[in-house]
Chains A and B, each alone.
Chain A
């Protein structure tokens, strides 16, 4: 084995048991077999067991940062626990070279009744620091945690933010060669988050190998060299962060909307919704420049959303609202027909309006369309359709930011 490799994971698998009673039984059986010096035959599945991780292989070089992405329940944390040696693999082999530190749950070893000061010592010992190391780094830990006078009060009186700060402060002062980080940077206030990030960046610069789980694609992009993408315990992709994140986001989108085309075609009659019944949206189509129904677009392409309606009576001054939300639920666009200067005097019977985006410049990702119909001066809406129509924007080069604005560069002097 080459010495520049910090972590090597070789066809690793881990199984879990769905039933609690059986899991206890298997546990005793395995313990018994291990005691007697027999192999536990861990490579075979028994009834009600399943592979939580299956055939995972990757390498992390020294000083490299590996990101792990995937949906909830994909086995990300299990993988991290395997790397830390909390669990042992049932198949395959894991080799680590260097002192391993893990930030799987902050403050896991804290005792609520003891003071912050006492807990720092205990937690540091649990995390593998020696007495000299703790004494040397104690002041730095206290300074980083920034909990002031609370240092000498019992931890149970801490706010959850303070608790996390103290836990993180201890954990980052372990100075390991390999650092395993679970999704924990998303806690604490903004100020502390940026402090954590700065510390992480410092650790990255110190040439520590890092394995990093996060749902924050921006964080992954910023600090990872390589990313593995796992889903349902299987390794789906292994490569550059940009490519893997795109792949993951696309998968999330299409997983949620398996029959994307059919879905966008369904009759709006089937959708349960609110609204006074005076006018109804009967059909919504998302079209491209050739008036073809599509759900996959390139960034900057022309997109047309066509709304068919049916009004049971004459409706004066109708207003159409088209909202477009990204996968994080953030409203990117809300187009209001009245404010856009598209004023209809009245509608009655069946009809169709369309909104045209000549350059749809939102960044790559999945989007959902919300459509509302109301009458000027009325309080409620006549019809609301939310989260039913989806489309996806693809771009070949990564763009930071939410959208692309037309722009020019000029050399002035």
Chain B
């Protein structure tokens, strides 16, 4: 028997058992690294070739949203709370981490639908497709990071040396994004409504999570934030960069573990059901 011996039958994975499932997934991800990179490159080139402003989009969006909040704060309609550092710095740092989640989730949950005929005509690793689309948000994150460094210079605030750890701190939030991305892309393939709902929910979540304002001490938002993993995943790296410590490290650690679990569970679910989607798209 050669190594390319494949069997297809109904409920295939169930018969093999859960343990070999993990090996299968791991091998698939490993063997398709180059494919993932090519798909990533394809999305990246397509986005930045098509728009005239190109990379500046990544600057414009956070500047507009932060600007809105500054105006709202100054006119007393909305209070951003007590913040020790200049507000734009705080907000843009938060937004950069937030859009890892929001942009990553939106693009990954739409990727199977967008690929459309490719999925029904060619058999390739759909996991690579989801990962490549979620990774698009890392590109805009890096671009926004440049904006951030400019802001640090303008305000004369020096980031802590821990800023160099940022590649590590985007891992948990990306795992969470990918996890949700896997599962939602499947459901989006079957129900197109899912895609529309996601962009609404993501906006709603942004206002629910202390990204553009500081965490309130009391009230509903305070208690929601207490159990909101997104809050910890964004505020911990932000505090690390601005202050050099993570005051709420317990919450952060719990959120990291939670993200890891979500990622693994969703990846397994995706693996078990990905062929179902090709039939329905």
Count A-B pairs with CB separation below 8 Å: 143
Query: Of A29-37, A194-202, A263-271, A345-353, which stretch is located at the interface?
Result: A29-37
**Does A92 have its Cβ within 8 Å of any Cβ on chain B?**
yes
Q: Looking at the complex, which one of B1, B11, B121, B269 makes contact with A108 (CB distance below 8 Å)?
A: B121
Task: List, sorted by A's number, 18 A–B pairs whose CB atoms are closer than 8 Å.
Answer: A31-B187, A42-B10, A85-B8, A86-B120, A86-B122, A89-B9, A93-B7, A93-B9, A94-B7, A95-B6, A97-B4, A98-B2, A102-B122, A111-B45, A122-B41, A126-B38, A126-B118, A126-B122
Chain A residues, Cβ within 8 Å of B121: 86, 104-105, 108
A121 at the interface (CB under 8 A from B): yes
Chain A, 381-402, contact with B by CB distance < 8 Å: what is the 0/1 string? Answer: 0000000000000000000000
- Chain A 103-145, CB-CB to B under 8 Å as 1, else 0, gives 0110011010110001001100111101100000000000000
Report how far A131 CA is from B35 CA in the complex, Å.
9
Residues of B within 8 A of A111 (CB): 42, 45-46
Report B-chain residues with C-beta under 8 Å of the C-beta of A131. Answer: 34
Chain A residues whose C-beta falls within 8 Å of the C-beta of B277 in the assembled complex: 27
Residues of B within 8 A of A250 (CB): none
Which residues of chain B come closer than 8 Å to A295, judged between CB atoms? none
A16, B278: Cα distance in complex, Å? 12
A118 CB, min distance to chain B CBs, angstroms: 6
Complex CA gap A105/B169 in Å reads 42
Choose among B6, B8, B41, B49 the residue that contacts A113 (Cβ–Cβ < 8 A).
B49
Whether the Cβ atoms of A35 and B278 lie closer than 8 Å is: no
The contact of A99 among B4, B13, B34, by CB within 8 Å, is: B4
Closest to A14 in B: B279
Chain A residues with Cβ below 8 Å from B190 are 24, 27-28, 31
The answer on a CB contact under 8 Å between B10 and A88 is yes
Quick one: closest B residue to A97, CB to CB?
B5
User: In A35-50, which residues have CB < 8 Å from any B CB?
Assistant: 35, 37, 39-40, 42-43
Residues of B within 8 A of A95 (CB): 5-8
- 0 or 1 for each of B248-281: is its CB under 8 Å from A? (1 = yes): 0000000000000000000001001101111110
Asked if B27 is at the interface of the complex by the 8 Å CB criterion, the answer is no
Minimum Cβ distance to chain B for residue A246 (Å):
32
Q: How far is the CA of A86 from the CA of B124 in the complex (A)?
A: 8
Q: Inside 8 A of A128's CB, which chain B residues have their CB?
A: 35, 124
Residues of chain B contacted by A108 (CB below 8 angstroms): 117-118, 121-122
Beyond A81-B120, A122-B38, whether A3 also contacts B8 by CB under 8 A is no
| Chain A neighbourhood of B124, CB < 8 A | 126-128
Residues of chain B contacted by A105 (CB below 8 angstroms): 117, 121-122
Given A94-B8, A96-B6, check contact A127 B122 (CB 8 Å): yes
The residue that B10 contacts in the complex, of A3, A40, A98, A126, with Cβ under 8 A, is A40
Residue from A86, A118, A126 with most neighbouring chain B CB atoms (10 Å): A126
Q: Assuming the A-B contacts A97-B4, A108-B117, A108-B122, are A24 and B12 also in contact, with contact meaning beta carbons closer than 8 angstroms in the complex? A: no
Question: In the complex, are the beta carbons of A31 and B186 less than 8 A apart?
Answer: yes
* Contact yes or no, B8 A24, CB < 8 A: no
**Shortest CB–CB separation between residue B214 and chain A, in angstroms?**
39
Query: Contact partner of B272 among A27, A35, A102, CB < 8 A?
Result: A35
Tell me the minimal C-beta distance from B279 to chain A in angstroms. 5
Name the one of B39, B117, B123, B278 contacting A122, with C-beta atoms under 8 angstroms.
Answer: B39
Check A177 for interface membership: any CB of B closer than 8 A: yes
Tell me the smallest distance from the CB of B137 to a CB of chain A, in Å: 19
Nearest Cβ distance between residue A405 and chain B, in whole angstroms? 45
Complex formed: what's the CA distance from A111 to B14 in Å?
36
Of residues 236 through 292 on chain A, the ones whose CB sits less than 8 Å from some CB of chain B are none
Contacts of A27 in B (CB 8 A): 190, 276-277, 279-280
Question: Which of A37, A82, A125 has the most chain B CB atoms inside 10 A of its CB?
Answer: A125
A84 pairs with B123, CB closer than 8 A: yes
Complex interface: chain A residues within 8 A of B275 (CB)? 85-88
Residues of A within 8 A of B11 (CB): 34, 39-40, 42
Sort A-B residue pairs by CB-CB distance and give the 5 closest, nearest first: A125-B38, A108-B121, A27-B190, A105-B121, A93-B9
Q: Mark B6-33, 1 if CB is under 8 A from A, else 0.
A: 1111111110000000000000000000
Known: A31-B276, A125-B35. A92 touches B9 (CB 8 A): yes
**In the assembled complex, how far is the CB of residue A241 from the closest CB belonging to chain B, in whole angstroms?**
27
Q: Is A336 interfacial (CB-CB < 8 Å)? A: no
Q: How far is the CA of A192 from the CA of B41 in the complex (A)?
A: 31
Query: Does A165 make an interface contact (CB < 8 A)?
Result: no
B280: A residues at CB distance < 8 A: 23-24, 27
**A231 within 8 A of partner (CB):** no
Q: Mark B113-140, 1 if CB is under 8 A from A, else 0.
A: 0000111111110000000000000000
Assembly CA distance A161 to B65 (angstroms)? 47
Residue of A nearest to B6 (CB): A96
Q: Are B187 and A28 in contact (CB under 8 A)?
A: yes
Q: With A43-B10, A100-B6 given, name 7 new contacts (CB 8 A).
A: A27-B280, A87-B278, A87-B279, A100-B123, A102-B123, A125-B39, A130-B34
Asked if A146 lies at the interface with its beta carbon under 8 angstroms from chain B, I say: no
Name the distance in Å between A142's Cβ and chain B's nearest Cβ: 18
Checking B2, B120, B186 against A97 with a beta-carbon cut-off of 8 angstroms, the contacting residue is B2
Assess whether B10 is in contact with A35, with CB atoms less than 8 Å apart. Answer: no
The 8 A CB mask of B169-212 against A (1 = contact, 0 = none) is 00000000000000000110011000000000000000000000
Residues from chain A with a CB closer than 8 A to the CB of B276 are 27, 30-31, 34
Determine the chain A residues whose CB is within 8 A of the CB of B119 once the complex forms: 86
Are B4 and A104 in contact, CB atoms less than 8 angstroms apart? Answer: no
Question: Bound complex: CA of A102 vs CA of B12, how far in Å?
Answer: 22
A128 to B35, CA, bound (A): 8
Smallest CB-CB separation from B38: which chain A residue? A125
A147 to B121, CA, bound (A): 24
| B residues near A34, Cβ cutoff 8 Å | 11, 13-14, 269, 272-273, 276
Residues of A within 8 A of B35 (CB): 125-126, 128
Cβ-based interface call for A76 (8 A): no
In the complex, A336 Cα to B258 Cα: how many Å?
A: 86
The answer to whether residues A91 and B10 also contact, given A27-B276, A30-B276, A127-B122 and a CB cut-off of 8 A, is yes
Chain A residue, CB-CB nearest to B18: A37
- Bound CA–CA A86/B8 (angstroms): 10
Alpha-carbon separation in the docked complex, A114 to B211 (Å): 36
